[in-house]
Amino acid sequence: MFTDYLTYFFNLFFSNENQLIIMFVSALVSASLLPGNSEIVFSTIATQTILVEHSLITSPLIWLVCVATIGNTLGSLLTLYFGRLIPEPKSLNHKYAEWVIHKLNRYGTIMLLLSWLPLLGDLLCGVAGWLRLPLLKSAFYIFMGKLIRYLLLLITIYPLVKYVL
């Protein structure tokens, strides 16, 4: 009886039907301030799909990139929204925050192409919200940065899986 529950629990994570849901949740959590690593989930699902499909441009891989990008973008937009809730500080003595504020003031929303970077990306999104940068432009650059990241990750994984495994 217990093994049935255990089997069902693991099937939730490893069944083909749930892979995109798991990818979405992992990408969303990874882009928020919570710890997570969507690259591992993405790489695992992409590797499995490449081994089955034997091609880089397939419907399952396109869906995987889209779901990962949308989930990761929404997570960053949550961070951006929470940044809008932070009141202006009386004094700012943090060198990374000062650097990010300077760069965002100088280059604007295009800096959000770097929102995929660990730690710095969260800080960029939070400060962009705090500075009240335009939401649609911010969402566009966040989306593009995340899309480029997952496409590069897929292009990197493909030859390893195709020719090494």
Question: Residue 86 gets which letter from DSSP?
Answer: S
- pTM for the model: 0.86
**How far are the Cα atoms of 38, 120, 150 from residue 69, in angstroms, in the given order?**
10, 18, 7
pLDDT of residue 90: 64
Question: Residue 111 gets which letter from DSSP?
Answer: G
pLDDT of residue 100: 83
Q: Are 38 and 19 in contact (CB under 8 A)?
A: no
**How far are the Cα atoms of 39, 51, 119 from residue 153, in angstroms, in the given order?**
8, 16, 19
pLDDT of residue 94: 74
pLDDT of residue 9: 63
* Burial (CB count <10 Å: 0-12, 13-18, 19+), residue 122: buried
Query: Would you call 118 helix, strand, or coil by DSSP?
Result: coil
Give the span between the Cα atoms of 72 and 16, in whole angstroms: 21
Print pLDDT tens along the chain (165 aa). Answer: 666 766 666 666 667 778 999 999 999 999 886 777 899 999 999 999 999 988 889 999 999 999 999 999 999 999 999 999 988 766 667 777 788 888 898 999 999 999 998 888 888 999 999 999 999 999 999 999 999 999 999 999 999 988 887
pLDDT of residue 96: 73
Question: Residue 144 gets which letter from DSSP?
Answer: H
Q: Are 46 and 58 in contact (CB under 8 A)?
A: no
pLDDT of residue 118: 82
pLDDT of residue 86: 87
Question: Residue 87 gets which letter from DSSP?
Answer: P
